[in-house]
Amino acid sequence: METQTLKPARRGRGARTAIRKARDFTMLPALRRGLPLTEPMDEVEIERIDAASMDILENIGVVFRDDTALADWRGAGARVEGETVYLDRGLVRELIATIPETFTYHARNPANNLPFGRDHAMFVPMTGAPYLRDLNDVRRNPTLEDLANFHKLSHMLPAIHSSAHHIVEPYDHPISQRHLRITYSSMKHSDKTFMGMTTSPKNAEDVMEMCAILFGAEFMETHPVVTGNCNGNSPLVWDETMLGAMRAFNKRNQPVLCSPFVLGGANTPASVAPTVAQLNAEALSALAYTQVVRKGCPAIYGHYLSTVSMKSGAPMAGTPEISLMNLMIGQMARFYRVPWRSSTSLGGAKTFDAQAGYESATTLMALQMAGTNYMWHAAGWNEAGMHCSMAKFVVDAEQCAMAYRMAQGIRWDDFDEALAAVADIGPGGHYLGHAHTLENFQRAFFMPELFDNNSIEQWQAEGAIEINARALAYTRDLLGAYEEPRLDEAVNEALLDYIARREREIPPADALNQDR
């Protein structure tokens, strides 16, 4: 990807072929880290967070606003008073001990399967944006076509390991039926891993049925093929919608991200370590519940994490405490031997300006050092998640490729050979024509396509184009070169039949009131 120059847009099949030839769209394997992690807490401090979280679970308790969950917890031996579940630390430890530390995350193309957990990481696009900034940099509500475009980009960008699900919300389709089309779009336009909607228990069941069509119900019983996200209501509440969706996934042995939704200072204490203690208690309570539903089911320690501005109450991004908390959360997840997710390339900027760049790069670098396994919201996120930017999507994807390269660490395989070049060249020479340089330059130093490093004279001669416009041109090029990964025709028809049947069953109007 990184050795080609940005070509002017061309049209037609010839152009598509040219772009496909010029660029390598092969997905990078799951990242395997070669850099040491940044671990700000020592063992005593980790245990201090653990003890505080366990105290919260035992003494303050967690509200499960869901009768089934309350009954499940009673059955598991927890003390339940009203909707509050008091979790003994022994029970919590026993339950989370059965969460697999690693698993293989399956894609419909087995070449895109991902080893998951421990020192592996994958990059997943942002999801859930109610607006997009489109190819003309216009901010508007997205459509199914926009969503398909993001799925196509996810398929093509090498450092992106998943097509996720509703990267943008397709407003041109009834909300009650939207999850079906979203899931189909993820499956159809990419053969990488994807995510499943958890917007209601019934929607989650539909996702499971569609996964069963794509992968086989039996295969799913022993192979994770999809991930769903379940947000908590911090402080210390899990609601019926999320718990029902969680059960739908877990019963099929599919992992959910157990994600406290933390706005530091608003729904947690105004302090770093105590916020992590509360978040950790919340995550543990849901992780433990997954094992009540199905022992041994994979699960992922999640969180959405921001701090709020005390000026406006708005969530911030790229601030130092967010970075510190992410480093700490990584340590807690590893302490419990559970894989974990992050919110990776966040930004609060309203446009793709320098603010967005600073915010996203800061968060990405911190999370790369934190050792997160599931690097979610890694591309496109801006305006505190209110819009997904097509320009930022491709730039973030290249940033992920660079973070990937950095996290791999240092290569030593050509060390002696290159030192021989130092002797060849000697003082005052230059290396550009040396055989070692010619052999190695393509892999030696990452050359970002979307950064312009030319002189100002050349940049002006090329139209004085800033990165936002360059990235939009690049995105147009990519979409022009897209080729759909073949989906078995019988599977495709079965999926479409399922969607058609469910769309007949689900009233389109209803859902606006109840189903999201």
Instruction: List the interface residues with its own copies, window 1-40 (CB under 8 A).
Output: 3, 5, 34-36, 38-40
Enter the tokens of residue 128: 């859930």
Question: Which of these ranges, 116-124, 165-173, 194-202, 261-269, lies near its own copies under the rule CB under 8 A?
Answer: 261-269
Q: Provide the minimum distance between the beta carbon of 55 and its own copies in the complex, in angstroms, as a whole number.
A: 8
Check binding of 418 to its own copies (CB under 8 A).
Answer: yes
Check binding of 454 to its own copies (CB under 8 A).
Answer: yes
Q: Provide the minimum distance between the beta carbon of 143 and its own copies in the complex, in angstroms, as a whole number.
A: 20
- CA torsion 232-237-242-248 (nearest 10°) is 110
Check binding of 464 to its own copies (CB under 8 A).
Answer: yes
The 3-class secondary structure across 245-260, one letter per residue, is HHHHHHHCCCCEEEEC
Check binding of 52 to its own copies (CB under 8 A).
Answer: yes
Check binding of 452 to its own copies (CB under 8 A).
Answer: yes
Task: Using alpha carbons, list the distances in angstroms from residue 500 to 180, 184, 196, 226.
Answer: 9, 12, 19, 22
Question: Which of these ranges, 185-193, 240-248, 373-381, 400-408, lies near its own copies under the rule CB under 8 A?
Answer: 400-408
Rounded Cα–Cα distance for residues 259 and 90 (Å):
22
Check binding of 386 to its own copies (CB under 8 A).
Answer: yes
Map tokens 């509050």 to a residue. 84
Q: Where are the alpha helices (H) located in 409-486, listed in sequence order?
A: 415-425, 435-444, 456-461, 467-480
**3-state SS, residue 282:** helix
Length of the chain: 516
Check binding of 365 to its own copies (CB under 8 A).
Answer: yes
Check binding of 137 to its own copies (CB under 8 A).
Answer: no
Site for its own copies in 287-316 (CB under 8 A): 307-316
**3-state SS, residue 171:** coil
Site for its own copies in 191-220 (CB under 8 A): none
Task: Return the number of the residue (413 or 489) whose C-beta is nearest its own copies.
Answer: 413
Out of 8, 110, 432, 514, name the contact with its own copies by CB under 8 A: 432
Check binding of 352 to its own copies (CB under 8 A).
Answer: yes
In the chain, the N- to C-terminal Cα span, in Å, equals: 39
**3-state SS, residue 216:** coil
Check binding of 422 to its own copies (CB under 8 A).
Answer: yes
Nearest to 175 by CA among 197, 205, 208, 149: 197
Check binding of 236 to its own copies (CB under 8 A).
Answer: yes
Check binding of 351 to its own copies (CB under 8 A).
Answer: yes
Check binding of 411 to its own copies (CB under 8 A).
Answer: yes
Check binding of 405 to its own copies (CB under 8 A).
Answer: yes
**3-state SS, residue 438:** helix
Q: Provide the minimum distance between the beta carbon of 121 and its own copies in the complex, in angstroms, as a whole number.
A: 14
Out of 366, 390, 495, 506, name the contact with its own copies by CB under 8 A: 366
Write the Ramachandran bin of 428: left for phi over 0, alpha for psi from -120 to 50, otherwise beta: left
Q: Provide the minimum distance between the beta carbon of 252 and its own copies in the complex, in angstroms, as a whole number.
A: 29
Enter the tokens of residue 42: 């020592």
Check binding of 455 to its own copies (CB under 8 A).
Answer: yes
Rounded Cα–Cα distance for residues 299 and 339 (Å):
8
Enter the tokens of residue 85: 């579940």
Out of 419, 461, 500, 512, name the contact with its own copies by CB under 8 A: 419
Q: Provide the minimum distance between the beta carbon of 131 and its own copies in the complex, in angstroms, as a whole number.
A: 9
Check binding of 283 to its own copies (CB under 8 A).
Answer: no
The 3-class secondary structure across 3-66, one letter per residue, is CCCCCCCCCHHHHHHHHHHHCCCCCCCCEECCCCCCCCCCHHHHHHHHHHHHHHHHHHCEEEEC
Q: Provide the minimum distance between the beta carbon of 80 and its own copies in the complex, in angstroms, as a whole number.
A: 13
Question: Which of these ranges, 50-58, 156-164, 289-297, 476-484, lies near its own copies under the rule CB under 8 A?
Answer: 50-58
Task: Return the number of the residue (111 or 419) whose C-beta is nearest its own copies.
Answer: 419
Site for its own copies in 147-166 (CB under 8 A): none
Out of 112, 231, 290, 360, name the contact with its own copies by CB under 8 A: 360
The 3-class secondary structure across 376-405, one letter per residue, is ECCCCEEHHHCEEEHHHHHHHHHHHHHHHH
Out of 18, 384, 491, 499, name the contact with its own copies by CB under 8 A: 384
What distance lies between CA 350 and its chain's CA centroid?
21
Edge-to-edge strand order for the sheet containing 341-343? 31-32, 120-123, 374-376, 341-343
CB 95 within 8 A of CB 132: no
Out of 46, 80, 406, 496, name the contact with its own copies by CB under 8 A: 406
Binding residues for its own copies, total number by CB under 8 A: 127
Enter the tokens of residue 193: 């891993």
Question: Which of these ranges, 8-16, 169-177, 196-204, 416-424, lies near its own copies under the rule CB under 8 A?
Answer: 416-424
Out of 80, 135, 144, 450, name the contact with its own copies by CB under 8 A: 450
Q: Provide the minimum distance between the beta carbon of 430 and its own copies in the complex, in angstroms, as a whole number.
A: 6
Q: Provide the minimum distance between the beta carbon of 6 and its own copies in the complex, in angstroms, as a whole number.
A: 10
Site for its own copies in 56-115 (CB under 8 A): 56, 59-63, 84
Check binding of 431 to its own copies (CB under 8 A).
Answer: yes
Out of 66, 169, 191, 359, name the contact with its own copies by CB under 8 A: 359
Please report the sign of the dihedral spanned by the C-alpha atoms of residue 292, residue 293, residue 299, residue 304. Answer: negative
Nearest to 478 by CA among 418, 354, 393: 393
Q: Provide the minimum distance between the beta carbon of 259 and its own copies in the complex, in angstroms, as a whole number.
A: 17
Map tokens 């900027």 to a residue. 349
Rounded Cα–Cα distance for residues 68 and 213 (Å):
28
